[in-house]
Amino acid sequence: MTVISTPAESPKAPPVTRKNRSSGAQRRAVAIFIAPFALLFIAFYAIPIVYAVIQSLLTVEREGTFGKPEQVFGGLVQYQQVFQNTAFWEAVARVLLFGVVQVPVMLGLALLFALLLDSPLLKGKKFFRLAFFAPYAVPGVIAAIMWGFLYSPSLSPFGAVTSNVDFLGADLVLWAIANIVTWVYVGYNMLIIYASLLAIPTEIYEAARLDGASNIQIAWRIKIPLVVPAIILTAVFSIIGTLQLLAEPQTLRSFSSAISSTYTPNLAVYTTASIPNYNLAAAFSVVLALATFILSFVFLKATQRKVSQ
């Protein structure tokens, strides 16, 4: 989407209306335009975040073993538990490993396809665009069910491969999930990068061609640097998505016994909440949200600085 070229555009867009703007009618209009979103945002974003933090600071106490459970303020007790919970940190390490491998592979492929679509080398571009984008229409759960069958030794059409390679075993199942995620999202990322390639003025290539630059040189020296903002954007969304992994591993659990109930951080949240230990689950959620926020924010800032240098 268009977002692409916009991270460069700072939020401080020039004021659009004239100085006589703040007439009563306009102020009222702004209030009417913003109010619905603001109310929903407060109710379903802001309050839940605050509520999660509060819950994570509580702890359950009982009077004696069979006493009535009561929630009392526990300070950072839950966070202490979070930091001592090895299963949770194993899950975090697992999705980080996943992201370090899967995100570059997926975005590399997306960039390659976008460049090929933008090059004069291909015929049938419209077909390729649609074919590669089609998996994006398949929800994560459905994609996981489909690939679960394709991976399984008995049902797979590629039985010759799947009966020899145990895609659903402990060694490979993480990469089996990575393949599913890649399959779903490559085309989507390809389209975002492709849209920003289309926005590059052609004159730039003309000049380079006259100077004798080859297609590959043009791609490497001109096109790729110009679509870096689009790639950064897709990378941020991929990082957020990776830390949130839930639907695919949870669905694959019925195909593979190698996926534990705390395989990803979100699975750990879900499992802990079903115990039910809401306070600890809330603390997991807060830590996970903070980690996601910081990671994507740092990534944005770091790459923006590099680009502007």
Partner 1 sequence: MATPATASKRPRGGSTTASDVETRGRGPRQSIMSRSAAMLVMGVFTLYFLTPIWWLLTTSTKTGGEITSTAPLWFTTNSLGTFFDNLGRLFTYGDGLFGRWLLNSAVYAGVGALIGTVIAAMCGYALAKYEFRGREAIFNVVLSGVLVPATALALPLFLIFSRVELTNTMLAVFLPSLVSPFGVYLARIYAAASVPGELLEAARLDGSGEIRTFFTVSTRLMAPALVTIFLFQFVAIWNNFFLPLIMLRDQALFPVTLGLYAWNSQISQIPELRSLVIVGALVSIVPLIIAFLALQRFWSSGLGAGSVK
Which residues, numbered 226-265, are part of the site for partner 1 (CB under 8 A)? 230, 236, 240, 243-244, 246-247, 250-251, 253-254
Look up residue 46 and give its two tokens: 């802001």
Beta strands in 52-112 (DSSP E): 58-62, 69-73
Compute the least distance from the CB of residue 90 to partner 1, in Å: 19
* Closest-CA residue to 173 (of 192, 198, 148): 148
How far apart are the C-alpha atoms of 61 and 5, rounded to whole Å? 53
Is the Cβ of residue 27 or residue 62 nearer to partner 1 in the bound state?
A: 27
CA distances from 150 to 142, 159, 254, 257 (A): 12, 9, 14, 16
- In 3-state terms, what secondary structure has residue 99? helix
If the CB atoms of residues 77 and 129 are measured against partner 1, the closer one turns out to be 129
CB of 47 to partner 1, least distance (A): 7
The residue from 111, 118, 173, 271 that contacts partner 1 (CB under 8 A) is: 118
- Looking at the Cβ atoms of 77 and 112, the one nearer to partner 1 is 112
Question: Any idea what the Cα angle at residue 168 is, between residues 165 and 170, rounded to 5°?
Answer: 100
Distance CA 181, CA 108 (A): 14
Whether the upstream peptide bond of residue 276 has omega within 30° of 0, thus cis, is yes
- Hey, what are 17's tokens? 């209306």
Residue in 62, 149, 261, 307 binding partner 1, rule: CB under 8 A: 149
List the interface residues with partner 1, window 12-71 (CB under 8 A): 12-13, 15-18, 21-22, 25-30, 32-34, 36-38, 40-41, 43-45, 47-49, 51-52, 55
User: Does 105 interact with partner 1 (rule: CB under 8 A)?
Assistant: no
Sites for partner 1 among residues 273-292 (CB under 8 A): 273, 278, 281-282, 285-286, 288-289, 292
Q: Which is nearer to partner 1, 59 or 156 (CB)?
A: 156
CB of 169 to partner 1, least distance (A): 18
Residue with tokens 């590099």: 306
* Distance from C-alpha of 77 to C-alpha of 205, rounded to nearest angstrom: 61
Chain positions 163 to 222 lying near partner 1, rule: CB under 8 A, are: 183, 186-187, 191-192, 195-196, 198-199, 202, 205-206, 209-210, 212, 214-215
Q: Which is nearer to partner 1, 51 or 220 (CB)?
A: 51
**Least spacing, CB of residue 74 vs partner 1, in Å:** 16
SS3 content of the chain, % helix, strand, coil (to 5): 70, 5, 25
